[in-house]
């Protein structure tokens, strides 16, 4: 297979299998493990297969163009450094999957766990192999999200929820800062391609924005890698299941921060700002983390603070800015991942077998679990930097670097002292871990008798500890070439000479190592009486909890400030909100447009009297509609439609027949829909504004009139100013006019634009229409009319009373006989309207018309049937299943769009041809016609669905509507509304819309 395919598989496979993992049954524990294990192993195999391609600074790249014009292409890029990270991610990932098989209880919902786990693996692989820095941020945030989901895996536990939320808040905010940093980098360099960024270190370092970029980038890296002052989220994240802690919060995700620092080390490091910020943050984290680790009572808490401290060590190394320190940093990333993952797994086993992680309750476990004990002791020794283990070598490299004489006073004193103090602390907490858990008196208050775990659960630890040993004893052979590959990929020509042997003679670093070891032992012995007290939290720092500060900030921002803002600017009432919105619009428009407004010369005269009269009517309709809308709804609705008709005729007047047709048809449907709704609104009788409360109402009304005048005047002035200017001669219209026929195959430019040039827009638009129709349907399914609208309308009551009084009439006869003759005509018109709609549909590509107009026409046919026959009559005979029509229409449009892909064109490319049909003649056959068919089918479905849902309300039984227990079957889905249970109680016929 080509490297392109392999790289794609490496990234995509975890995400795809995450979907599969999420859809397996809840008890498919073994299937999940096989799946996740196989994915990790395939990833590992792919990574290994790339080794020959990445040695010696070679890079494998696969670029998938996405938005080349914006410099945004998907680039999967594997170099030596990404390679060694991919090895960690897939290799440790596999071991953690194996471990999780035994760790997770059968009661835990494993599909969720493995789905998130695999998604995280994909995201993390995405971070390390991103060749585009924006893409890197996207994957970076994905790791934050998956980490959130995994920490909160046991969401019934409040600690897990809080820890997850805190981790997400901190790391995602860092991620946003990183995004800004990357955008700035792209702005400075002019490219988001990592290759280009790595090649322009000098440009970046000398740019005035360098410090800003650096701080933003460090915010991202420090939050992710839990560096001071953002270290507090990591101990809280220990509420996650232990496999997650082993994988995300020691081996991989928290390494993303230092990964970023290493990745950008060649271009960002070497400046004073870098040195001061990075090395001091790293040093503080290193010492503080190690100090806090000594005093933890929770096993995983101790490991978490130790992780923070080791990440601080790596950061300090990177901060120093020398190539040798960078080598040590990369080496320590790998070493730390191996020993810390195994320690977490050992802690998980202890928790699993004893039921507690509390160091005060654990002791003397070596007798019960000697194998696990031995493994944990070796791993702890590696953590403490004992010789012959991998931790020793990288730590000694660290001591070497700090001990170098430096003209800088801080570097000369603080670095070596900090290093040795942290070394002493780390020996002390490693001793506490080993001695406290495995030695000492018999454990007394454990829930169960501890014993060794299943041997397969121990295998991952055995493998990792073995690696610690091999790397510690024969580093040159075991890790040398791979480390060199990674180092060369980062440092390139600056790669220094370094030696990986364990013996460099008696020198200062060795003395520092020995001093740290002895000092650590002494410190532990001295601290034992204090530790025996079992106090929570480290002395001196107990009050200074980053977490508390974080929570206080969070409360301030999300509660206090939010409250204040709500009190000042918020309102639960719509009316003032709308007023403010309109006011802001008018005022901003005024300020924005005022400077550009040249005095416009009024063009009087040359008016067509017809047009003047037309708009006099229009203006009257608009103002009268506004005036009548409160007390005379029907009149207002008719006046509003009058304004709509004037609009429609204006379109005709100014040569826009397509708009006129659509406006007219939509006008009809809208009016009918609102008429249907009128029945459910309360009666309102006009009374004089006499009482004193009316004063406020009056004032508000005048205020709104003033605002309305300003808004209207502004719009009028703006449109007049634009209309009287000459148009830009070469606007984009020329493009469409020239190509509509030659490339779109239709003479109706508007229709060609809608179904062809801007097909994607139309696709979105019909999707909106479908969504609206389904929302309307869903809202009305549970519709409960207000109590005073439940009775039959007054008009019907009077009619029925009239019927009742006469012996030869039955109640409801008058309603039945209503519109007798017109209703026959309307029923006869139905086929005619269908033919008309087909005609409008077919001519659409060349003449005004099209799928939308045809669809509305068709639904007007249905409206007429409702008016003629009544709701029940139509519902009994309705052969349209509107929801299916909506779906079918959308699918037809989508299929037409996708069809273009088959022929190698972009989505929604249309083809056209003329076909010679017998009798009919030459017919244009554009694939746009199929697209338009989809539009037509969807519009019919959506409009009919809205209509049915509204009209159906009128046949609902008053009794059913009033009952307190709302029956869900009160409204059946429209396809079979006849199944309504309360049918006998309802009147036989009602005229929709006639009920207001």
Q: Which stretch binds another protein (CB under 8 A): 135-143, 273-281, 342-350, 755-763?
A: 755-763
Name the burial class of residue 894, with classes exposed (0-12), middle (13-18) and buried (19+) by CB atoms within 10 angstroms of its CB: middle
Query: Which is nearer to another protein, 112 or 843 (by Cβ)?
Result: 843
615 touching another protein, by CB under 8 A: yes
**Rounded least distance, CB 313 to another protein, Å:** 59
Using CA atoms of 75, 77, 81, 83 in order, give the dihedral in degrees to the nearest 10: 130
Under a CB-based contact definition with an 8 Å cutoff, are residues 58 and 79 in contact? Answer: yes
Among 51, 275, 651, 907, binds another protein (CB under 8 A): 651
- What residues from 446 to 505 belong to the interface with another protein (CB under 8 A)? none
Sole binder of another protein in the list 404, 711, 983, 988 (CB under 8 A): 711
Residues 764-803 that bind another protein (CB under 8 A): 765, 768-769, 772-773, 775-776, 779-780, 783-787, 789
Task: State the binding string over 820-839 for another protein (x if CB under 8 A, else -).
Answer: --------------------
Stretch that binds another protein, among 149-157, 465-473, 499-507, 600-608 (CB under 8 A): 600-608
CB of 954 to another protein, least distance (A): 12
Distance, first Cα to last Cα, the chain: 72
Handedness of CA 634, 637, 642, 645 (dihedral sign): negative
Q: How far apart are CA 896 and CA 974, in angstroms?
A: 29
Name which of 847 and 891 has its Cβ closer to another protein. 847
Under the binding rule (CB under 8 A), the answer on residue 623 touching another protein is yes
By CB under 8 A, the residues from 904 to 943 that bind another protein are: 942
CA–CA separation, 653 vs 611, rounded Å? 8
List Cα–Cα distances, 759 to 638, 663, 763, 896, 941, in angstroms. 35, 20, 6, 10, 20
Q: In the complex with another protein, which residue's Cβ is closer, 128 or 773? A: 773
**Collapsing DSSP states into helix, strand and coil, what is residue 495?**
coil
- By CB under 8 A, which span of 32-40, 190-198, 411-419, 568-576 interacts with another protein? 568-576
Kindly indicate which of the ranges 328-336, 377-385, 578-586, 885-893 contains the residues binding another protein, using the contact rule CB under 8 A: 578-586
* Contact residue for another protein among 418, 848, 882, 934 (CB under 8 A): 848
Shortest CB 799 distance to another protein, Å:
24
According to CB under 8 A, which residues from 508 to 547 bind another protein?
Answer: none
Among 276, 344, 334, smallest CA distance to 306 is for 344
Interface with another protein, residue 713, by CB under 8 A: yes
Is residue 626 within 8 A of residue 619, CB to CB? The reply is no
Residues 87-106 that bind another protein (CB under 8 A): none
Shortest approach of another protein to residue 748 CB, angstroms?
5
**Token digits for 130?**
């991103």
Q: At what angle do helices 110-129 and 3-23 cross, to 10 degrees?
A: 160
- For residue 92, is the peptide bond before it cis, meaning its omega torsion is within 30 degrees of 0? no
Q: Which of 557, 681, 695, 915 forms a contact with another protein (CB under 8 A)? A: 681
| Cα separations in angstroms, 100 against 149, 448, 460, 947 | 16, 21, 10, 55
- Count of other CB atoms within 10 angstroms of residue 349: 26
In whole angstroms, the minimum distance from the beta carbon of 845 to another protein comes to 11
How far is 227 from 312, CA to CA, in rounded Å?
Answer: 6
Identified binder of another protein from the candidate list 518, 717, 824, 917, rule CB under 8 A: 717
Those residues whose C-beta lies under 8 Å from the C-beta of residue 774, and which sit 6 or more positions away, are 883, 886, 945
Among the listed residues 244, 326, 350, 749, the single contact to another protein using CB under 8 A:
749
Cis upstream peptide for 139 (omega within 30°): no
Choices 183-191, 486-494, 526-534, 657-665 (CB under 8 A): range interacting with another protein = 657-665
Candidates 655, 686, 964, 968: give the one binding another protein (CB under 8 A): 655
Rounded to an integer, what is the distance from CA 812 to the centroid of its chain?
57
C-alpha closest to that of 163 among 259, 244, 247:
244
Query: Smallest gap, in angstroms, from Cβ of residue 786 to another protein?
Result: 5
CB of 978 to another protein, least distance (A): 23
663 is a contact residue toward another protein (CB under 8 A): yes
What residues from 159 to 178 belong to the interface with another protein (CB under 8 A)? Answer: none
Residue 115 or 669 with smaller CB distance to another protein:
669
Nearest distance from C-beta of residue 854 to another protein, angstroms: 13
Q: Residue 340: CB partners within 8 Å, gap ≥ 6?
A: 246, 250, 251, 303, 306, 307, 310, 383
Answer yes or no whether residue 561 interacts with another protein by CB under 8 A: no
Binds another protein by CB under 8 A, chosen from 272, 447, 598, 608:
608
Tokens coding 96: 């953690």
Q: Does 575 bind another protein (CB under 8 A)?
A: yes
Please state, as a whole number, how many other Cβ atoms lie within 10 Å of the Cβ of residue 713.
11
Residues 6+ apart with CB under 8 A from 107: none
The distance of closest approach from Cβ of residue 961 to another protein in the complex, given in angstroms and rounded to an integer, is 9
Distance of alpha carbon 825 from alpha carbon 819, whole angstroms: 10
If one asks whether residue 966 binds another protein (CB under 8 A), the answer comes out as no
């Amino acid at each position: 297979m080509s490297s392109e395919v392999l790289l794609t598989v490496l990234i995509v496979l975890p995400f795809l299998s995450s979907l599969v993992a999420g859809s397996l049954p809840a008890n498919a524990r073994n299937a999940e493990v096989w799946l996740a294990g196989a994915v990790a192993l395939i990833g590992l195999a792919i990574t290994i297969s790339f080794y020959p391609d990445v040695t010696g600074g070679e890079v494998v790249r696969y670029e998938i163009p996405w938005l080349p014009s914006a410099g945004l292409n998907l680039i999967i890029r594997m170099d030596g450094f990404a390679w060694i990270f991919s090895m960690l991610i897939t290799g440790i990932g596999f071991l953690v999957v194996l471990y999780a098989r035994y760790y997770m209880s059968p009661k835990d919902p494993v599909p969720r766990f493995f789905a998130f786990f695999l998604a995280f693996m994909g995201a993390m692989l995405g971070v390390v192999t991103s060749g585009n820095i924006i893409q890197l941020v996207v994957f970076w945030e994905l790791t934050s999200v998956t980490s959130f989901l995994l920490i909160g895996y046991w969401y019934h536990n409040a600690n897990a929820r809080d820890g997850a939320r805190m981790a997400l808040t901190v790391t995602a905010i860092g991620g946003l800062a990183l995004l800004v940093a990357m955008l700035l980098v792209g702005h400075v360099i002019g490219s988001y391609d990592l290759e280009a960024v790595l090649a322009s270190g000098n440009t970046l370092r000398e740019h005035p924005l360098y410090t800003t970029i650096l701080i933003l980038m460090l915010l991202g890296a420090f939050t992710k890698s839990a560096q001071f002052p953002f270290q507090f989220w990591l101990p809280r994240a220990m509420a996650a299941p232990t496999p997650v802690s082993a994988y995300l919060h020691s081996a991989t995700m928290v390494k993303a921060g230092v990964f970023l620092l290493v990745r950008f080390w060649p271009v960002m490091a070497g400046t004073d700002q870098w040195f001061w910020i990075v090395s001091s943050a790293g040093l503080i984290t290193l010492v503080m983390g190690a100090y806090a680790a000594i005093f933890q009572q929770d096993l995983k808490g101790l490991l978490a603070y130790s992780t923070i401290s080791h990440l601080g060590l790596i950061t300090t190394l990177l901060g120093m800015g020398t190539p040798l320190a960078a080598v040590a940093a990369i080496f320590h990333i790998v070493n730390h991942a191996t020993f810390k993952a195994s320690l977490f797994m050992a802690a998980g086993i202890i928790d699993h077998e004893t039921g507690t992680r509390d160091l005060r309750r654990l002791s003397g476990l070596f007798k019960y679990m000697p194998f696990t004990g031995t493994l944990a002791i070796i791993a702890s020794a590696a953590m403490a930097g004992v010789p012959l283990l991998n931790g020793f070598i990288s730590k000694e490299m660290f001591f070497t670097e700090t001990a170098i004489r430096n003209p800088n006073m801080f570097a000369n004193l603080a670095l070596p002292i900090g290093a040795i103090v942290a070394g002493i602390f780390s020996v002390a907490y490693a001793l506490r871990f080993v001695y406290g858990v495995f030695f000492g008196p018999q454990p007394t208050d454990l829930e169960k008798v501890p014993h060794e775990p299943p041997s397969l659960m121990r295998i991952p630890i055995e493998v990792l500890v073995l690696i610690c040993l091999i790397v510690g004893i024969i580093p040159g052979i075991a890790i040398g070439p791979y480390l060199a590959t990674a180092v060369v990929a980062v440092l390139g020509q600056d790669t220094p000479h370094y030696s990986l042997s364990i013996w460099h003679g008696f020198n200062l670093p060795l003395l520092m190592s020995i001093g740290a070891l002895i000092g650590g032992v002494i410190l532990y012995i001295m601290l034992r009486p204090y530790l025996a007290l079992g106090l929570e939290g480290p002395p001196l720092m107990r009050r200074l909890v980053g977490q508390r500060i974080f929570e206080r900030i969070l409360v301030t921002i999300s509660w206090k400030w939010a409250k204040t803002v709500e009190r000042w600017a918020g309102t639960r009432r719509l009316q003032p909100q709308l007023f403010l919105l309109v006011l802001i619009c008018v005022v901003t428009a005024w300020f924005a447009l005022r400077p550009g407004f040249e005095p416009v010369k009024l063009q009087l005269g040359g008016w067509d009297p017809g047009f003047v009269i037309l708009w006099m009517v229009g203006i009257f309709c608009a103002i009268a509609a506004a005036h009548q809308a409160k007390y005379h709804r029907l009149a207002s609705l008719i006046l509003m439609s009058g304004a709509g008709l004037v609009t429609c005729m204006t379109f005709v007047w100014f040569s826009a027949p397509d708009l006129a047709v659509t406006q007219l048809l939509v006008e009809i449907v809208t009016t009918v829909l609102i008429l249907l709704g009128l029945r459910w609104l309360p009666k309102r009788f006009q009374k004089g504004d006499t009482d004193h409360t009316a004063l406020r109402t009056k004032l508000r009304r005048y205020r709104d009139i003033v605002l309305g005048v300003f808004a209207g005047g502004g719009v009028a002035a703006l449109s007049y100013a634009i209309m009287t200017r000459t148009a830009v001669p070469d606007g984009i219209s020329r493009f469409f006019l020239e190509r509509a026929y030659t490339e779109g195959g239709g003479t109706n430019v508007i229709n060609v634009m809608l179904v062809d040039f801007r097909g994607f827009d139309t696709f979105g638009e019909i999707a909106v229409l479908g969504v609206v129709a389904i929302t309307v349907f869903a809202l009305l399914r549970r519709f409960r009319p207000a109590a005073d609208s439940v009775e039959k309308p007054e008009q019907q009551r009077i009619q029925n009373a009239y019927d009742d009084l006469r012996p030869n009439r039955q109640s409801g006869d008058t309603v039945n006989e209503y519109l007798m003759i017109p209703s026959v005509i309307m029923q006869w018109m139905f086929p005619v309207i269908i033919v008309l709609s087909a005609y409008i549909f077919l001519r659409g590509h060349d003449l005004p018309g099209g799928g939308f107009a045809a669809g509305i026409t068709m639904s007007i046919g249905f409206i007429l049937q409702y008016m003629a026959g009544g709701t029940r009559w139509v519902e009994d005979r309705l052969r349209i299943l509107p929801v299916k029509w909506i779906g079918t229409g959308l699918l037809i449009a989508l299929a037409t769009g996708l069809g273009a892909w088959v022929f190698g064109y972009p989505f929604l490319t249309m083809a056209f041809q003329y076909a010679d049909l017998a009798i009919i003649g030459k017919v244009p056959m554009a694939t746009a016609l199929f697209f338009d068919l989809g539009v037509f089918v969807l519009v019919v479905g959506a409009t009919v669905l809205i209509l049915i849902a509204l009209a159906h309300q009128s046949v609902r039984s008053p009794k059913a509507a009033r009952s307190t227990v709302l029956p869900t079957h009160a409204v059946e889905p429209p396809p079979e509304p006849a199944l309504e249970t309360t049918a006998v109680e309802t009147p036989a016929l009602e005229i929709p819309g006639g009920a207001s």
